[in-house]
Amino acid sequence: MEHFIDFFIMLVLAYLIGAIPTSIWVGKIFYRIDIREFGSGNAGASNAIRVFGPVVGIFVLVVDMFKGFAAVYLVHFYSFVHKGTPEFVNIQIILGIAAVLGHIYPVYAGFRGGKGVATVFGVLIGLHPLATLCAAGVFLIGFFTTRFSSVGSILAGLSFPIWIILVFHTPYLHLKIFSGMVSALIIFTHRKNIIRLWNGQENKTNFSSKSKRSN
Protein backbone atom coordinates (compact mmCIF):
# COMPACT_ATOMS: atom_id res chain seq x y z
CA MET A 1 0.00 0.00 0.00
CA GLU A 2 2.86 2.35 0.86
CA HIS A 3 4.45 1.76 -2.55
CA PHE A 4 1.13 2.42 -4.28
CA ILE A 5 0.82 5.78 -2.49
CA ASP A 6 4.39 6.69 -3.48
CA PHE A 7 3.66 5.74 -7.09
CA PHE A 8 0.42 7.74 -7.11
CA ILE A 9 2.24 10.82 -5.77
CA MET A 10 4.87 10.45 -8.50
CA LEU A 11 2.16 10.12 -11.13
CA VAL A 12 0.38 13.29 -10.00
CA LEU A 13 3.66 15.21 -9.82
CA ALA A 14 4.62 14.05 -13.32
CA TYR A 15 1.30 15.29 -14.70
CA LEU A 16 1.55 18.63 -12.88
CA ILE A 17 5.12 19.16 -14.12
CA GLY A 18 4.10 18.33 -17.68
CA ALA A 19 1.06 20.59 -17.41
CA ILE A 20 3.13 23.75 -16.88
CA PRO A 21 2.01 25.80 -19.92
CA THR A 22 5.31 27.49 -20.68
CA SER A 23 4.38 29.34 -23.87
CA ILE A 24 0.98 30.40 -22.50
CA TRP A 25 2.45 31.86 -19.33
CA VAL A 26 5.28 33.56 -21.24
CA GLY A 27 2.75 35.10 -23.60
CA LYS A 28 0.46 36.34 -20.87
CA ILE A 29 3.19 37.63 -18.55
CA PHE A 30 5.51 39.32 -21.06
CA TYR A 31 3.31 40.01 -24.09
CA ARG A 32 -0.20 40.24 -22.60
CA ILE A 33 -1.53 37.78 -25.19
CA ASP A 34 -2.71 34.19 -25.36
CA ILE A 35 -0.44 32.41 -27.83
CA ARG A 36 -3.32 30.07 -28.71
CA GLU A 37 -4.97 32.99 -30.51
CA PHE A 38 -1.99 33.65 -32.81
CA GLY A 39 0.11 31.85 -35.40
CA SER A 40 -0.94 28.21 -35.69
CA GLY A 41 -3.03 28.47 -32.53
CA ASN A 42 -0.84 25.89 -30.83
CA ALA A 43 0.73 26.31 -27.40
CA GLY A 44 3.99 24.61 -28.31
CA ALA A 45 7.55 25.67 -28.93
CA SER A 46 7.29 25.89 -32.73
CA ASN A 47 4.45 28.37 -32.50
CA ALA A 48 6.31 30.25 -29.78
CA ILE A 49 9.19 30.70 -32.23
CA ARG A 50 6.72 31.89 -34.85
CA VAL A 51 4.91 34.32 -32.52
CA PHE A 52 7.59 35.49 -30.07
CA GLY A 53 10.78 35.02 -32.10
CA PRO A 54 13.60 32.46 -31.87
CA VAL A 55 15.10 33.52 -28.53
CA VAL A 56 11.88 33.21 -26.55
CA GLY A 57 10.81 30.23 -28.63
CA ILE A 58 13.99 28.32 -27.84
CA PHE A 59 13.52 29.11 -24.14
CA VAL A 60 10.02 27.59 -24.35
CA LEU A 61 11.46 24.58 -26.18
CA VAL A 62 14.11 23.95 -23.51
CA VAL A 63 11.63 24.27 -20.63
CA ASP A 64 9.10 21.99 -22.31
CA MET A 65 11.82 19.40 -22.91
CA PHE A 66 12.97 19.67 -19.30
CA LYS A 67 9.41 19.00 -18.11
CA GLY A 68 9.47 15.58 -19.75
CA PHE A 69 12.94 14.74 -18.49
CA ALA A 70 12.11 15.89 -14.93
CA ALA A 71 8.95 13.78 -14.84
CA VAL A 72 10.85 10.63 -15.87
CA TYR A 73 13.63 11.41 -13.37
CA LEU A 74 11.15 11.41 -10.46
CA VAL A 75 11.58 7.64 -10.19
CA HIS A 76 15.11 8.20 -8.86
CA PHE A 77 13.72 9.72 -5.66
CA TYR A 78 12.06 6.46 -4.65
CA SER A 79 13.91 3.31 -3.61
CA PHE A 80 11.27 0.63 -4.15
CA VAL A 81 12.57 -0.17 -7.66
CA HIS A 82 16.13 -0.61 -8.87
CA LYS A 83 17.65 1.22 -11.83
CA GLY A 84 18.01 -0.85 -14.98
CA THR A 85 15.23 -3.30 -14.14
CA PRO A 86 12.13 -3.70 -16.33
CA GLU A 87 10.00 -2.32 -13.45
CA PHE A 88 12.16 0.81 -13.29
CA VAL A 89 11.78 1.41 -17.04
CA ASN A 90 8.03 0.73 -16.87
CA ILE A 91 7.55 3.35 -14.17
CA GLN A 92 9.63 5.82 -16.19
CA ILE A 93 7.36 5.25 -19.19
CA ILE A 94 4.19 5.73 -17.15
CA LEU A 95 5.54 8.95 -15.63
CA GLY A 96 6.54 10.15 -19.09
CA ILE A 97 3.06 9.49 -20.43
CA ALA A 98 1.58 11.45 -17.52
CA ALA A 99 3.84 14.41 -18.30
CA VAL A 100 2.96 14.40 -22.00
CA LEU A 101 -0.75 14.23 -21.22
CA GLY A 102 -0.20 17.14 -18.85
CA HIS A 103 1.38 19.17 -21.64
CA ILE A 104 -1.42 18.38 -24.10
CA TYR A 105 -4.19 18.80 -21.50
CA PRO A 106 -2.82 21.25 -18.91
CA VAL A 107 -4.96 21.76 -15.82
CA TYR A 108 -3.49 25.27 -15.46
CA ALA A 109 -4.73 26.42 -18.88
CA GLY A 110 -8.19 25.02 -19.44
CA PHE A 111 -6.84 21.68 -20.70
CA ARG A 112 -5.78 23.28 -24.00
CA GLY A 113 -2.04 22.82 -24.46
CA GLY A 114 0.49 22.00 -27.15
CA LYS A 115 1.15 18.93 -29.26
CA GLY A 116 3.65 17.53 -26.78
CA VAL A 117 6.61 17.03 -29.12
CA ALA A 118 9.17 18.88 -26.98
CA THR A 119 7.93 17.20 -23.80
CA VAL A 120 8.00 13.80 -25.51
CA PHE A 121 11.59 14.56 -26.54
CA GLY A 122 12.50 15.25 -22.90
CA VAL A 123 10.86 12.01 -21.82
CA LEU A 124 12.77 10.08 -24.47
CA ILE A 125 16.08 11.61 -23.36
CA GLY A 126 15.36 10.22 -19.91
CA LEU A 127 14.50 6.79 -21.34
CA HIS A 128 17.09 6.30 -24.10
CA PRO A 129 19.41 9.27 -24.81
CA LEU A 130 21.21 7.76 -27.83
CA ALA A 131 18.05 6.80 -29.73
CA THR A 132 16.59 10.21 -28.91
CA LEU A 133 19.62 12.04 -30.28
CA CYS A 134 19.36 10.02 -33.49
CA ALA A 135 15.67 10.93 -33.79
CA ALA A 136 16.62 14.56 -33.13
CA GLY A 137 19.01 14.36 -36.05
CA VAL A 138 16.13 13.18 -38.24
CA PHE A 139 14.07 16.11 -37.01
CA LEU A 140 16.79 18.60 -37.89
CA ILE A 141 17.24 17.13 -41.36
CA GLY A 142 13.50 17.23 -42.02
CA PHE A 143 13.08 20.68 -40.52
CA PHE A 144 15.97 22.45 -42.23
CA THR A 145 15.25 20.72 -45.54
CA THR A 146 11.59 21.74 -45.66
CA ARG A 147 11.38 24.62 -43.12
CA PHE A 148 8.29 22.85 -41.73
CA SER A 149 8.66 21.96 -38.04
CA SER A 150 5.72 19.58 -38.43
CA VAL A 151 7.59 17.58 -41.08
CA GLY A 152 10.64 17.30 -38.85
CA SER A 153 8.51 16.22 -35.88
CA ILE A 154 6.61 13.61 -37.87
CA LEU A 155 9.77 12.12 -39.40
CA ALA A 156 11.52 12.05 -36.01
CA GLY A 157 8.54 10.33 -34.42
CA LEU A 158 8.36 7.73 -37.15
CA SER A 159 12.08 7.04 -36.87
CA PHE A 160 12.16 6.55 -33.10
CA PRO A 161 10.90 2.92 -33.05
CA ILE A 162 13.48 2.11 -35.72
CA TRP A 163 16.29 3.40 -33.52
CA ILE A 164 14.93 1.68 -30.41
CA ILE A 165 14.08 -1.70 -31.92
CA LEU A 166 16.30 -2.23 -34.96
CA VAL A 167 19.41 -0.19 -34.20
CA PHE A 168 19.91 -0.27 -30.42
CA HIS A 169 17.99 -3.53 -29.80
CA THR A 170 16.52 -2.50 -26.45
CA PRO A 171 15.69 -5.52 -24.25
CA TYR A 172 12.68 -3.82 -22.67
CA LEU A 173 9.39 -4.89 -24.28
CA HIS A 174 7.40 -1.97 -22.90
CA LEU A 175 9.93 0.50 -24.23
CA LYS A 176 9.52 -1.03 -27.68
CA ILE A 177 5.74 -0.68 -27.36
CA PHE A 178 6.10 2.87 -26.06
CA SER A 179 8.27 3.83 -29.02
CA GLY A 180 5.41 2.83 -31.30
CA MET A 181 2.99 4.82 -29.13
CA VAL A 182 5.22 7.86 -29.54
CA SER A 183 4.98 7.60 -33.31
CA ALA A 184 1.20 7.20 -33.16
CA LEU A 185 0.85 10.16 -30.76
CA ILE A 186 2.94 12.48 -32.92
CA ILE A 187 0.96 11.52 -36.03
CA PHE A 188 -2.32 12.05 -34.15
CA THR A 189 -1.39 15.43 -32.71
CA HIS A 190 -0.13 16.58 -36.13
CA ARG A 191 -3.18 15.40 -38.09
CA LYS A 192 -4.23 19.00 -38.87
CA ASN A 193 -0.68 19.80 -39.98
CA ILE A 194 -0.74 16.80 -42.30
CA ILE A 195 -3.96 18.07 -43.89
CA ARG A 196 -2.45 21.55 -44.28
CA LEU A 197 0.71 20.07 -45.79
CA TRP A 198 -1.37 18.07 -48.25
CA ASN A 199 -3.32 21.21 -49.21
CA GLY A 200 -0.18 23.39 -49.39
CA GLN A 201 -1.40 25.58 -46.52
CA GLU A 202 1.15 24.78 -43.83
CA ASN A 203 3.20 27.75 -42.56
CA LYS A 204 6.98 27.56 -42.77
CA THR A 205 9.03 28.59 -39.73
CA ASN A 206 10.56 32.04 -40.04
CA PHE A 207 13.85 32.51 -38.21
CA SER A 208 13.54 36.28 -38.09
CA SER A 209 13.95 37.70 -34.59
CA LYS A 210 10.91 39.85 -35.16
CA SER A 211 7.75 38.47 -33.57
CA LYS A 212 4.87 37.55 -35.85
CA ARG A 213 1.83 38.08 -33.65
CA SER A 214 -0.81 37.91 -36.30
CA ASN A 215 -3.58 35.41 -37.08
pLDDT confidence tier of residue 99, bands split at 50, 70 and 90: very high
What is the reported pLDDT for 2? 64
pLDDT at residue 208, rounded to an integer: 56
pTM of this structure: 0.85
Give me the percent of the chain exceeding a pLDDT of 70: 94
Query: Quick one: pLDDT band at residue 147, thresholds 50, 70, 90?
Result: confident
- What would the mean pLDDT of 33-48 be, rounded to a whole number? 90
Residue 170: pLDDT band with limits 50, 70, 90? very high
Task: Give the pLDDT of residue 154.
Answer: 93
The residue with greater pLDDT, 20 or 215, is 20
Across the chain, mean pLDDT equals: 90
Q: DSSP per residue over the chain, as a string?
A: -HHHHHHHHHHHHHHHHHT--HHHHHIIIIISS-GGGSTTS--SHHHHHHHH-HHHHHHHHHHHHHHHHHHHHGGGG--SS-TTSHHHHHHHHHHHHHHHHHHHS-GGGTT-----HHHHHHHHHHH-HHHHHHHHHHHHHHHHHHS-HHHHHHHHHHHHHIIIIIIS--S-HHHHHHHHHHHHHHHHHTHHHHHHHHHT-PPPPP--SS-----
